[in-house]
Structure 1
Amino acid sequence: MQTTDYRIAADIGGTFTDVACLSSEGQLITAKVPSTPHDYAEGILVGIGQIVEQLGLEAGNFGQLLHASTIATNAILESKGAKTGLVTTEGFRDVLELRRIRVPRLYEPLYEKPAPLVPRRNRYEVAERLDATGAVVQPLDEAGARAVGRALAQAGVEAVAICFLHSYVNPEHERAVERILREELPEGCFICASYDVLPEMREYERTSTTVVNAYVGPVVRTYLEKLVQRLEAAGFDGNVLMMQSSGGLLDVAQVQERPATVVESGPAAGVVGAARLGMAAGYKDVITFDMGGTTAKASLIQDGCVTATDDYEVGGGISMSSALAKGGGYALRLPIIDVSEVGAGGGSIVRIDAGGVLKIGPESVGAVPGPACYDRGGEHATVTDANVVLGYLNPVALAGGTVPVKAIRAQEAITRTVCDPTGIDLLEAAYGIHRVANATMMRAVKAVSTYRGRNPRDFTLLAFGGNGGMHAAALARELNIGRVIVPPGAGVFSAVGLLVADYEMGRSLSLSLLLKDGETELLEKAFSDLETSVLEGMTYETTPTLTRSVQLRYKGQGSELGVVVPPGVIVDETLNLLSAGFETEHKRSYGYINETGLIELVSLRVVASLPPARAPRVSGIAGLVDTGEIVTRKAYFGSSSGLMETPVITRMALSDTPRSGPMIIEEYEGTTIVPPDCTAWRDSHNNIVIQLGAEEQQDG
């Protein structure tokens, strides 16, 4: 077998590391192992070892490792990034504090925005000034910049972000300060400038994005370097590519230069897989629901296409994109698959707050020590513990027996955390945890649907992640979604998504003009120059596909909508098509068209992409068999249904004939719950299809 016949994908989550491989015959082989926070590479190597053992290969005998991770996201959500400094124009020290005026919780007067990633004591000003055209108003004070470098070194920062006013037009001052800081700061300090991270207007968004890039830089760089070293020691000499938040793969060396591009790496991989494999199975309009150990994510796929954005917020309890609900996190203005994320996963910690209210997350127990039921020293009650008490999860072991479970530990943790302070019965407490987790995760689904002008009822919920199948039906009920799909390999689906993703690189630049002015030659030249820049940064043997897009708005608006530019040289008709495309999207997102409004172009973007050398094809799933064994266990579905003796079956025990719930579908990678009054069957692509009954939907 040729080495390049194998692509292995690894997705690091907060609790588990998922590994998947597609053979040349289209056979999907998967592994799920506990994440190893002390050295994330260790978990990947263990998973790869299980895969190559099944295939009968040597450890290094595969062509590519495709990689995704939530490590950058978790560093922000859990405030575990690098100690970061900011250098900015004199008078703009507090841009991170001022940010935008909108808040996400209108009726919560005591709401406080999350603290800036860079505290004020580590934010420094340098005398310099450019105007909006890039002309120098005040020369750079190089002596002052050098003094700032010495102060940052004394403060012991691990990373520095540089962001000067109007540097997206003229980056010379930022380049000069970047050079000075590299001389003054210790070798290894991560330094980045906004002209390289985000050469676009908007002072707060550009500053915030550059700071996020610096904040996660050392974390991402350290574990990627260790990963490559460990792989090389194991005999692997192929390419290592990492998933970007935009949904494309990129060489890890380039990722280390711009780590903010992988903040939503893992979630993006799952959405790409859902779009491509879902479309192949006939599901073109879906909302993805990805619930892992630390977070839950949602995204919207319409007509088989992922929804992308460059207007995103990460952290603050929920990471999301929406022009209608902002202010809860840190602006990240980079191309990102529109994924909304909340700190609610299987390992999220359960607590009773000072007001006696049950709360879930965003803190997580992580892989170590893990939920109490794993019996590895975990004391906190978690969502996973609640699912064990409810009978949803196997009370003996998970992941094919590789993760032992002690149900008594889950019972003790929930009793101590919830039952004793409130007097609630154990089953009701566990069911309450399950429902509160669903309510928290519902925010993520609404952020990509309701808040963007889409009705969830018009979509199918496609659930994956280690815990997605357990919560999907109940979540769909709350949202009036009538159908749930759980794909094969759902518990490792972000890893599966990596296998069908393209190699991709993109760049953007600011350019302000009105479409009515007909500046076709200016636009064509700007796009051509940008395309040259993108292609120079890529390694390729066949010519990549180039996609152009623009950000448009009505003149005077505060936010933009992305529109793809039709192929070919830009002419007057191209501008007419862009206007029509913008108005269609504006109507869909906001419900109206401004008939007299002037349409303004704000920025350009070019993406170059290459599909996998061998088209991915999933023709079979390793280990997907029906044992024929009939097993039941008691599961609790609320006070109206009580404890029910529930069949525990495998995916292959389902046929194309609908089967009535309740039932528990156990697999190596995860568990799917089919509540009472629902039916389930297996379609021709081996997806589990759950149809909610009339009683499950408030409006039928």
Structure 2
Amino acid sequence: MSWRVGIDIGGTFTDIAVVAEDGDVTLWKEDSTHPHPEIGVQRGLAAVAANAGLALDEFLARTTLLVHGSTIATNIVIERDGPQVGLLCTEGFRDVLLFRDGFKWERFNDRLPRPRDFADRSRRLGVRERVAPDGTVVEPLDEQSVRDAARELGRRGAEAIAVSLLWSNANPAHERRVRELVAHELPDVPVIIASDVLPEIGEWVRTSAAVLSAYVYPRSARYLGELKTWLREHGLRRDVLIMQVNGGCATVERTLQVPAGILISGPAAAPAAARHIGERVDAQDMITVDMGGTSFDVCLMRAGEAPLSRTIQLEHQPIGVQAVEVHSIGAGGGSIAWIDSGGALRVGPESAGARPGPAAYGQGGERPTVTDANVVLGYLSPEAFLGGRRTLDAARARQALEQHVGDPLGIDALAAAAGVIELVNASMVDAIRVVSVQRGIDPRPFLLVAGGGAGPLHAGRLAAELGIERVLVPAEAGTICSFGMTVTDVRHDYAAMVHTSSADPALADVRAAFAELEQRARDDLAASGFGPDAIALERSVDARYEGQVHDLTIAVPPGELDAAALAQVQRAFHAAHAERYTWSIEEHAVEFLHWRVSGVGLMERPATARLTELEPRSADAARNGTRLAWFAELGELVETPVYDRARFEDGATLSGPALIDSATTTVVVNPGQTLIADARGSLLIDCVANLAGAGTVAMETKER
């Protein structure tokens, strides 16, 4: 027996998914162990090995794929506890980071503080050189100015150095030479050059991507290197792969070439899981939601594909690289409920994390969280949490809600808990609307795929509020990102700037650029062990109307790029522009900037069973008693049937209200909703009968 393993380090739990070659899936949650995340990984792997009846070394020796995702790099940026970064730039341009792009994210807020830079101005030094936009050298590189600047950065305490010179995307020779010179002067200081990280037009974004990469590199390199060594020493015979923000994965060596690619990369695995899971109900248009301990992540997918964006920012700094477009808010099971200075109830974004965690954990946490509210409302079983590995203290949860929410508002703990859940649900509904309604997309025909330890608790209510008819809670929901890592492909992105337009396309130059990029992709994937039949190439281009600042990435059809193929790209651009911005000018010339190739190493995926082919039958065999739970439709605590997810048979069908317990999550089926399950634990909730009532309940709540 062999296994595929996905590991996702979150703010509260480290999730592990193990997929056996026969398709059997084991899910495990281990407390995250900040600031030493490797401890949680090691404990979790030991636990799943023991669950398989094997020593850790034997388990890892029989592991054919291990993909790891974490929030380590993201947390370094958010917590701003990275190294002192120096920046070498073209002389006279050290304030590119200061000026940014001239826009504020709150444009009418004249008191908006400017975000702090990750390379202090005192450690941003210029070197004498100049390259023109077409890549020709206007002023040769003054190597002595580089040596002097490197020594000065060393004296000023730089622990990592980013190099970003003007137009290095057109000609990276100067940046590469600067790296050589700095390495000679400061051999123990890592150097990141912008043309490696982001060889694209736009000096602010390119510089930001290089600086962020330098900022996260030292600790990321140390952690990933130590992890790779530990896994090798304990039996793993394959290279560990690292989850990337583009939705694929890559080796440690490839990852450290572009460290920005692992920023906010964990949530990118949920759409990969949904693409595989959607086959169970013949769905390709999906909205994935992943509610963990600290955040709620949502992604809208069409035709089975997640959109990619190059405008993703972290701490108001662009990461530059292509990223799966996931919208995140601070709403998770550990999000803390509090009363603001105006006496209004708020939830999040601050989280209790794994330590001390919610009050119900009994680990010293005193402030109420969403998890505490779910305990008080009866949704979470104090005895069945994490499959019985942890007992929740309902009395502590109630006390925290009374003290910090109920007493200030003059209500009891039950009403306080209901208010917390209603408020966090409203925030999550708004997050889903951001990626759908606010972009002119009707979410109602989509399948809602619920993931995360807390997601299935809330998904039925979110769907009812939005008018979505079906919710899929996969068997892997509680660890959806770690499962997604076991079914994602290896992906490398490449780009070349050939500035053309539809009026003067320069197709020969574009074809040459594509040929070079595609060969690089094939070579890199072949070096990772992929044969020709396991390599897929995807092409795209950044396009805009002449005179525009922002662009859209449009797919380029396979085959020879001729006039007919370019016309197809133009039509696709006009359609995409009309969808995104509600207008297009089809007679206007289209400008093309970066031509892109994504090399995809296709991984084998486990087979998946179809829920749509099951014959309905009674779910009584999985019945596991009742517990008191509160539902808005009923206005009171009611005895609610409880089911053991592990005991469902194929076709097991039930109607809400109902609660389904499992080791990694709990599912709430609201009154009026129905559910059908398979024997592996995937659940399809039909919300149609519940939709009309949901609007009434929401209205009554607002009127009160």
Q: Determine the structure 2 residue equivalent to 1:42.
A: 39
Change (3 A) 1:576 1:210: same
Counterpart of 2:614 in structure 1 is none
Q: 1:311 aligns to what?
A: 311
Alignment of 1:543-558 (within 5 A): 543=532, 544-558=535-549
Matched residue SS, 1:509? strand
Structure 1 106/419 Cα, relative in aligned 2: closer, same or farther at 3 Å? farther
Deviates more, 1:482-491 or 1:355-364: 355-364
Displacement of 1:489 in angstroms is: 1.4
The one-letter amino acid paired with 2:446 is F
Maintained 8 Å contact 1:200/1:510: yes
Hey, what's the Cα distance between the residues in 2 that align with 1:362 and 1:239?
Answer: 36
1:488 and 2:478 correspond? no
- The equivalent of 2:30 in structure 1 is 33
Shift of 1:393: 1.6
Paired residue for 2:671?
676
List, as ranges, runs of 4+ consecutive aligned residues in structure 1 with deviation greater than 6 Å.
Answer: none
Residue 464 (structure 1) shift: 0.2
- 2:531 match: 542
2:381 paired with 1:394: yes
Q: Per-residue CA shift, 1:296-323, capped at 9, x if unaligned?
A: 11111112222222222233xxxxxxxx
- Determine helix, strand or coil for the equivalent of 1:50: helix
Q: Which residue of 2 aligns with 1:605?
A: 596
Letter in 2 for 1:50: A
2:18 corresponds in structure 1 to 21
CA distance in 2, matches of 1:212, 1:434: 36
Is the partner of 2:400 in helix, strand or coil? helix
CA contact (8 A) 1:396 1:407 kept: no
The answer to whether residue 585 in structure 2 is matched with residue 594 in structure 1 is: yes
For structure 2, the residue ranges without an aligned partner over 5 or more in a row are 612-618, 700-704
Change (3 A) 1:231 1:311: same
* Residue identity matched to 1:649: Y
- Aligned counterpart, 1:294: 294
Number of aligned residue pairs: 679
Which string of whole-angstrom CA distances, capped at 9 and with x for unpartnered residues, describes residues 481-533 of structure 1? Answer: 33322111100111211222112222112221002324221111010111222
Instruction: Name whichever of 445-454 and 107-116 sits farther off.
Output: 107-116
The one-letter code of the counterpart of 1:286 is M
Aligned residue among 653, 656, 662 for 2:657? 662
Aligned mates of 2:87, 2:633 — CA distance in 1: 54
Q: Which amino acid aligns with 1:62?
A: T
- Equivalent-residue separation in structure 1 for 2:151 and 2:302 (angstroms): 52
1:339 equivalent in structure 2: 326
1:382 match = 369
TM-score, normalising length from structure 1? 0.90
Q: 1:559 to 1:465 in 2, by over 3 A?
A: same
1:72 is the counterpart of 2:73: yes
Matched, 1:261 2:261: yes
Per-residue deviation, 1:169: 0.9
Alpha-carbon distance in 2 for matches of 1:21, 1:223: 22
Q: Secondary structure at the match of 2:497?
A: strand
Cα shift readout 1:48-69 (whole Å, capped 9, x = no counterpart): 2333333344232222212222
Report the counterpart of residue 320 of structure 1 in structure 2.
none
- Give the Cα–Cα distance (whole angstroms) in 2 for the partners of residues 626 and 138 of structure 1: 80
- Matched with 1:87 is 88
Aligned-residue sequence identity (percent) comes to 37
| 2:632 is equivalent to residue 635 of structure 1 | no
2:460 to 473, 491, 504: 473
**How many Å separate the matches in 2 of 1:578 and 1:219?**
42
Aligned equivalents of 1:215 and 1:352: distance in 2? 36
Do 1:399 and 1:668's aligned partners in 2 also have CA atoms closer than 8 Å?
yes
Partner of 2:515: 528
Distance of 1:360 and 1:113 partners within structure 2: 26
CA-based RMSD: 2.8
Q: Which residue of 1 aligns with 2:401?
A: 414
**Partners in 2 of 1:377 and 1:190 — Cα distance?**
41
Of residues 247-256 and 103-112 in structure 1, the stretch that sits farther from structure 2 once superposed is 103-112
What is the rounded CA distance, in whole Å, between the counterparts of 2:138 and 2:368 in structure 1? Answer: 58
Q: Displacement of 1:93 after TM fit?
A: 2.8
Q: Return the alpha-carbon distance in structure 2 between the equivalents of residues 356 and 576 of structure 1.
A: 58
- Counterpart-to-counterpart distance in 1, 2:311 and 2:434: 13
1:138 Cα offset (Å): 4.0
Three-state SS of the structure 1 residue aligned to 2:146 is helix
The separation in 2 between residues aligned to 1:144 and 1:120, in whole angstroms, is 18
* Structure 1: runs of 5 or more not aligned: 316-328
Give the conservation status (yes or no) of the 8 Å contact 1:481–1:697. no
Structure 2 CA distance for aligned equivalents of residues 93 and 431 of structure 1: 52
| Contact 2:623/2:641 (8 A) holds in 1 | no
CA contact (8 A) 1:8 1:20 kept: yes
Q: Distance in 2 between matches of 1:474 and 1:105?
A: 31
How far apart are the structure 1 equivalents of 2:324 and 2:112? 28
In 1, Cα distance between equivalents of 2:350 and 2:140: 46
What is the deviation of 1:191? 2.3
Shift of 1:627: 6.1
Q: Alpha carbons of 1:140 and 1:32: their partners in 2 closer, same or farther (altered >3 Å)?
A: same
Contact kept, 8 Å, 1:486 with 1:688, in 2: the verdict is yes
Q: Secondary structure at the match of 2:59?
A: coil
Shift in alpha-carbon separation, 1:148–1:405, aligned structure 2, 3 A: farther
